[in-house]
Structure 1
Amino acid sequence: RVLDWLAARGVLTAAEHELARRQIATLHLPDKGRRPEQALHAVLRLESLLSGQGREKREKLPLLVHTTLDLEMQREASWLTWTSLRAWESRGAGNAALIVLDLQSREVRAWVGSGDYFAGHQAGAIDYTRVRRSAGSALKPFLWAQALERGAIGPASVLDDLQRGPGGVTNADDVFLGPLLPRVALANSRNVPAVELLNRLGLDAGYGLFRDLGLTDGAEPARHYGLGLAIGGLPVTLEELTAAYLALAGDGRLTGTRWHAGQTLPEPRRIFSEETARLITLYLSDPQARLPTFPRMGAAEYRFPVAVKTGTSTNFHDAWAVAWSSRYLVGAWVGHPDFRPMNQLSGYLTSAELVQRVLLGLHRDQADGLDDLSFPPPRGWHPARVCALTGHRATDACDRVFLEWFRPGDEPVDDCTVHQRRAIDRRTGLLATQDTPRAEVEVRTFVELPPRYAAWQAAASLPRPPDAVSAFQPGELGPGGTFTRAVLDATRRVRLRITSPDNNVRLLRDPETPADLSTLALTVVVDPPVRQVVWYVDGRPYETVSYPYTARWKLVPGEHTFQVKLPLTEGGSAAVRVVVQ
């Protein structure tokens, strides 16, 4: 009718009118189509990125933009995110997000902004890959890498996890694992060594690294976050976090991500050395190093090499996981839109499980675990067996040993002397002598750690070698009695240093805690060990204690002083002042 109307008014000639009628009769209108619902957040993110490129760059783009998304992978990732979220909803999980990156091309393969875009009760229209949340422990690998780069630690260094750190910082499980290799401390995600490491590196250095990685714009000074930077004080987005992890998965180079065909990436920036990035990858892909915090055969273990790091913010508000194989890097976040705490849902129990399901699907051809996909060690470095407690060269007496990689010339040369095998008189449990009958001699392994580990060693039930030799004579040992000769070295000057409480600390009593349970831990380093020391409170003897020399003191309001002395001597440790309110 429109053509007839135009022809009647002379707008179209008869020939034009006839040509138009024939063309319309054969015109095929394509289906309008519909964008996949599972990719709405990805499309909106791409639109946002393109609109921010500037008019000149946008005009050079083709009319049809081919994204790097793999629609089949996108659908699978969306489905896994949605089904996983349903399983966690009863425990307070309100939404989840997931990103899959191809490590070879740096292309975005899947981008899941929420469990369901149209789920109003979950605020599903929000793209949670771009929402800033507390990172928990997810930033620790970068601090370990920086410490390795600067020589603050090496593969055989020992990090102490003995007691609460500055400001009362403790581990998520409130357990202390003692002396740890960097591999073990990172794989177990220990908070106390992380805070100490940041303190050693310096706040500004750690914060500067996060800025270089694109995790912050640096608007706030480092002191705004304090040492909490090491354990989740800096809020980040999943998009920023996965992009930063490309530096570790990419041999230390930060490259950016590719969203569409023809997109050029900026020149790679060297953040870490190749050797450092490979060490961190080896640490995070070692299931044995995760013990005892994370069990074997769980959400962080695969049949092919995968490096995994989880993070959980305070009170379980956020749960994170980032993992990478030889092909893909996958990151996930789980939490609640209203910032409500979840019910004991950690990064290991949620996001790591989701990431594992995705990676297992992407590596179906390696599910049997028979292919060699191991991560490469630093080029030109050599392996050495080291003791997990000392970082020294392992001996047959060491019960936990790791294979660490070292730059040529940096391998440990001293054997571990902490693990000791001693001949024991089985009748007394004391050191055997030449007079001990051979049938009564038994060789046992003991642990002799430096004095600062005394309290931890006792709590961990690691046996110390006896400090006396057996003087057993047949018929002379009565019930409950022993004959011994002391072997303590009385010639060395004994040094005493109180490690708890801190000097000038101010304590507030909890009114809801019964008075008998309101106590303060008293710990001291005694070097070399002695049989007994005496704790003094306010100048008066309080308690005589043996190894490991710990005691508890009931809180009493007021100002108090604590000191440790050797029995029957005048000298002692420096006095520590405490105020109880």
Structure 2
Amino acid sequence: MKRRPIYRILAGFGLLLLLLLGLDRAFPVPPAPLYSPIVLAQDGSVLHAYLNPTQKWRMKTELREITPVLRAAIIEKEDRWFRWHLGVNPLALVQAAGRNLFGTGHTTGASTITMQVARLLEPKERTFPNKLLEMARAVQLEAHYSKDEILQLYLNLVPYGGNVEGVKSAALLYFQQTPDYLSLAQTVTLAIIPNRPRGLVLGKNNAAVLRERNRWLRRFGAAGLFPKQDVEDALLEPLDVQRHAAPTLAPHLARRLVRQFPRQAIIRSSLQRAKQSKAEDLTRNYVRRLRELGITQAAVLVINNRTRQVEAYVGSADFRDFASQGQNDGVVAVRSPGSTLKPFLYALAMDRGLVTPKQLLPDVPTNFQGYRPENFDKHCNGEVTLERALAYSLNIPAVRVLNQLGVPAFTDKLRQAGFRSVTRNRAQLGLSSILGGCGASLEELTNLYVTLAAEGNYRELALVASPQPLSEKERGSSSKKSHASPLSFFGGEGGVPRQAGTQLISPAAAFLTTDILAQLTRPDLPLGAASSMRLPKVAWKTGTSYGRRDAWSIGYNREYTIGVWLGNFSGQGSPALTGADVATPLLFDLFNALAYNSPNDWYAPPAALDFRLVCAESGLVPGENCPNQLIDYFLPNVSNGQRCQHQREVLVSEDGSFTYCRACAPAAGYRRALYPNLLPEVAAYKEAQGIPYRRLPPHNPQCQQVRGGRELAPTITSPTANTEYVLNHHEQQQLLLSCATDGEVRQVHWYVNDQFLRTAKATERVFFRPQPGPLKISCADDHGRNTDVLVTVTELE
């Protein structure tokens, strides 16, 4: 019988608890405040800030930014018993009621910090019923959040006049520092304003703010809150502040990240503040000097090769330049890449064993199934080594190598390297893709060069820093209550997981490509050769798109890869817009500023690479007739082991006037001689250009042997097979006939629709006026070998 009162008490407590839980569910905690999205640099400093959806500056103050000085000043001034009460201070309520009823002392409201948070979360008219609701909300908040979290909420919501709310917003806009970098005097200044945000306005009432600040400093000193000397120093600190604009560094990346993480109040980017600021200044000033040349925009990307983090991101020369479309992001804009893909092509070709650095490639006018590329300077060199073709960015050798490698194999690697435009249009791409015929962004191209710098290993770039571990204090303060996560309430920091790489090219091929690109003479050395020892060593490549609409220059060393694009977002070209002349100077300005006097730790040849002797005339393994030899790199068991045949042995008459074949060689009266074994197109080019070479004498005219063989038949270089030609009747336009032949051929015979047209020299260009309709063009050489092509001619009246 005696236990019944205890059961009744427990039952009463149970019912009360159920009632409170029911009320908590029926009236949940107010939603999280709408914060101003801010983007941080890697060191935690604010790069860019935006107004929140209600057009207020309310930047989230993190727990680590609430310094002991700020915490002590706020609690001492606003709520001394904050750490001990459960949201409502009964003693303060009794004291306030006594003062208000009997008129003794100042009239007060006895609001605790938690009650103020409740009022700031749900602003209401100040009435007695609303005060009771405020007290109930305060108790509810205490049940859901730790004391540090409640203090954090308070400091994020307190008003500072106008549209400025929260201590972090005030610190940045008035002192240009985050709260954890403020002095004692500045911290106390921000602690005293929230109670009088209209009377104590920084920048307008600085004198009144100074008097109030010093009054509170003396009170804090008398209470022993801060050391006496610190207080005396703070009293001497002047207060000359004004409101500043919010930080606006890296506007393009900030906008991109805010769109990518729309629910996060704080996004920690991978950018380095000093590098970002320097890159923006250099880019803006450089483009300002180019405006008279019709060049108005630029974009820059700086990547740390070891971490794959983007440390500087400049989307345009000036974000606020609306006339030049400065808000466009040149880092992600898809443009024509020009010649910037050539290093990657040659690296892939070396991995396939198709080429080596010293191997000679034909650089002559060539028709690739209807595609006729030209070098940038409209000049051909006959034959060049691969390393020269890459160093001087020659177009025709690059197209020839792509033709050998195969467009699908090349574009498949670009797809693996994250080229989105190539992935979408892969079926439509052809040989022109190596000369800018495919779309690419600065971000994609620069990461491709990071892959070369990383020995062929590809990984996606990181725009957001990895999540930072919490300190012991932050871990302790955020683990007290578990009903709501502080990160979900206040917004968290974005991060990217570390990714495993994809080996796109071998380390050996990457090294050989880097070795070639590093041999180019820097444009800034002739004027500053004395200080060149302090300049960073760089491997670099330029590119210029068709019509001079885009200029590229991308360089790398072991530490950094920097990509530069210049042009106009309107797509308008400029005669001065070339990668070598316009983009490269900015590239080296950036390298010199960001990596000056850095250790030039350069690449070493990988173990998979070896040396061998090659013929100087072809770059192939020496044959029987290769007296001139040199050393070249090669990939064992991969590189082509074909023997050099740059010369061939032929039978010639004693006077050297004609040659014999095996069928017509006499028993005596001839000798053996070596002659250049040139490709037909190379021989035709040298003949047309008047370049001297040892030409094979004509074949024995008395020979009765008819030598067929389609492999030595003439190659018709014009017109192109299966092509429609539209000729203007009034302009009397004609069709060009040309071919490439074996070195022994002296004459060719041209036929149109099996009707004889004329006989011409093997290297002669023949013009004629065709009739409209389908045409069969035939070319027969003086050895009886024949080739046909079919074309269609349409005539415009």
Query: Fold match, TM over 0.5?
Result: yes
1:235 to 420, 428, 439: 439
Whether 1:499 and 2:716 are equivalent positions in the alignment is: yes
Please identify which structure carries the higher strand content.
1
Whether 1:524 and 2:752 are equivalent positions in the alignment is: no
- Contact residue 735 and residue 769 of structure 2 kept, 8 A: yes
Give the share of equivalent positions with the same residue, in percent.
25
Match of 2:683 in 1: 454
1:110 shift after superposition: 1.8
**What is the correspondence of 1:176-191 to structure 2 with a 5 Å cutoff?**
176-191=380-395
Alignment deviations for residues 298-357 of structure 1 (CA, whole Å, 9 cap, x no partner): 479996642222222221222222111232111011121222222351222222222122
- Contact residue 271 and residue 313 of structure 2 kept, 8 A: no
Whether 1:69 and 2:297 are equivalent positions in the alignment is: no
1:404 to 632, 635, 639: 632
Whether 1:281 and 2:487 are equivalent positions in the alignment is: no
Match of 2:559 in 1: 327
Q: Within 2, Cα distance between the matches of 1:533 and 1:203?
A: 34
Change in Cα spacing, 1:176 to 1:36, as seen in structure 2 (3 Å) is farther
- Any idea what SS the aligned residue of 2:684 has? helix
- Contact residue 354 and residue 640 of structure 2 kept, 8 A: no
Q: Within 1, Cα distance between the matches of 2:514 and 2:702?
A: 45
- Contact residue 352 and residue 638 of structure 2 kept, 8 A: no
Change in Cα spacing, 1:540 to 1:94, as seen in structure 2 (3 Å) is same
Instruction: Note the residue ranges of structure 2 that are not aligned, 5 or more in a row.
Output: 1-76, 79-95, 113-190, 193-211, 221-233, 469-494, 649-654, 659-673
Change in Cα spacing, 1:234 to 1:192, as seen in structure 2 (3 Å) is same
1:553 to 758, 767, 770: 767
- Any idea what SS the aligned residue of 2:738 has? strand
What amino acid sits opposite 2:509 in the alignment? T
Q: Within 2, Cα distance between the matches of 1:222 and 1:64?
A: 35
1:105 shift after superposition: 3.2
Change in Cα spacing, 1:172 to 1:408, as seen in structure 2 (3 Å) is closer
Q: Within 1, Cα distance between the matches of 2:781 and 2:242?
A: 91
2:604 to 359, 376, 390: 376
Match of 1:473 in 2: none
2:341 to 131, 134, 139: 139
Q: Within 2, Cα distance between the matches of 1:317 and 1:103?
A: 29
Match of 2:791 in 1: 578
What amino acid sits opposite 1:12 in the alignment? A
Q: Within 2, Cα distance between the matches of 1:387 and 1:87?
A: 49
**What is the correspondence of 1:60-139 to structure 2 with a 5 Å cutoff?**
65=268, 67-71=270-274, 73-139=275-341
- Contact residue 306 and residue 325 of structure 1 kept, 8 A: yes
Q: Within 2, Cα distance between the matches of 1:172 and 1:222?
A: 25
Please identify which structure carries the higher helix content.
2
- Contact residue 156 and residue 182 of structure 1 kept, 8 A: yes
- Contact residue 257 and residue 265 of structure 1 kept, 8 A: no
1:579 shift after superposition: 3.1
- Any idea what SS the aligned residue of 1:575 has? strand
**What is the correspondence of 1:254-273 to structure 2 with a 5 Å cutoff?**
254-258=458-462, 259-260=464-465, 262=468, 263=495, 264-273=497-506
Change in Cα spacing, 1:101 to 1:553, as seen in structure 2 (3 Å) is same
1:97 shift after superposition: 0.6
Change in Cα spacing, 1:413 to 1:214, as seen in structure 2 (3 Å) is closer
RMSD: 4.5
Residue-pair matches, total: 515
Match of 1:477 in 2: none
Change in Cα spacing, 1:157 to 1:466, as seen in structure 2 (3 Å) is closer
- Any idea what SS the aligned residue of 1:134 has? coil
Instruction: Note the residue ranges of structure 1 that are not aligned, 5 or more in a row.
Output: 288-295, 421-427, 432-444, 469-484
Task: Name the larger-Rg structure.
Answer: 2
Q: TM-score, normalised by structure 2?
A: 0.55
1:549 shift after superposition: 2.9
Whether 1:317 and 2:552 are equivalent positions in the alignment is: no
Match of 2:110 in 1: 12
Match of 1:348 in 2: 580
Match of 1:442 in 2: none
Change in Cα spacing, 1:544 to 1:377, as seen in structure 2 (3 Å) is farther
1:459 shift after superposition: 3.9
1:250 shift after superposition: 0.6
Change in Cα spacing, 1:212 to 1:298, as seen in structure 2 (3 Å) is same
Q: Within 2, Cα distance between the matches of 1:307 and 1:489?
A: 59
- Contact residue 447 and residue 463 of structure 1 kept, 8 A: no
Q: Within 2, Cα distance between the matches of 1:132 and 1:243?
A: 14
Q: TM-score, normalised by structure 1?
A: 0.73
Q: Within 2, Cα distance between the matches of 1:255 and 1:298?
A: 31
Q: Within 1, Cα distance between the matches of 2:627 and 2:585?
A: 31
Q: Within 1, Cα distance between the matches of 2:627 and 2:445?
A: 37
Change in Cα spacing, 1:550 to 1:385, as seen in structure 2 (3 Å) is farther
